[in-house]
Amino acid sequence: MFDWLSFQNFAIIGVAFQFGGMAFFAFIFSPMIFKFMASDEASRFLRQVFPVYYRLSAGISIFPALMLIPLPFYHIEVGILLGVAAIFLFAARVLVPMSNAARDANNEGKFKIIHRSSVLIYMLQWSAIFIVLIRLID
């Protein structure tokens, strides 16, 4: 009856949740904010959302890693998931404050560099999560 109940299946669910959540945030939630709110209002709102989102995403990345640790053949996946979690925490603690400081100082050049870097990092994380998902399902 509970044959599906395994660490690997819980990890697959966690990674799939992470992958889908990241896609939703990047391609649906954030664009909708700027579509339905004034630009300055949207920026203030996202300043509050991003640190929470990044910390939550770090936790979501850690959960499947913990599910895979007892299994002897998923060391690479565990490393990738923990790396993704560490980068989320770095983004919350370093990139978001740097981005906010650049925006507050009206330094648009610095803000654009930080923002583009954070988007690139996010897409690399998303790709890494996708690779882990494919490796777990295979």
Q: What is the pLDDT of residues 59-111, one digit of tens each?
A: 999 999 999 999 989 999 999 999 999 999 999 999 999 999 999 999 999 99
pLDDT digits (tens, 9 = 90+) for 8-23: 999 999 999 999 999 9
Best CA proximity match to 136, nearest among 64, 55, 84, 48: 64
2: in domain: no
Asked if the structure places residue 1 within a domain, the reply is: no
Q: Is residue 79 part of a domain?
A: yes
Mean of the per-residue pLDDT values of the chain: 94
Angle between helices 39-68 and 7-24 (to 10 degrees): 170
Q: How many domains is the chain partitioned into structurally? A: 1
pTM, entire model: 0.91
For 4, phi then psi, to 5°, come to -75, -15
- Classify residue 77: in a domain, yes or no: yes
Per-residue model confidence (pLDDT) at position 112: 95
Per cent of the chain over pLDDT 90 is 91
Range of the domain at 110: 7-137
Asked if residue 125 belongs to a domain, the reply is yes
Question: Residue 37: inside a domain, yes or no?
Answer: yes
Percent of the chain with pLDDT over 70: 97
| Rounded alpha-carbon distances, angstroms, from residue 36 to 11, 27, 46, 85 | 35, 15, 13, 30
In a domain, 120, yes or no: yes
Please say if the pLDDT value at position 4 is more than 70.
no
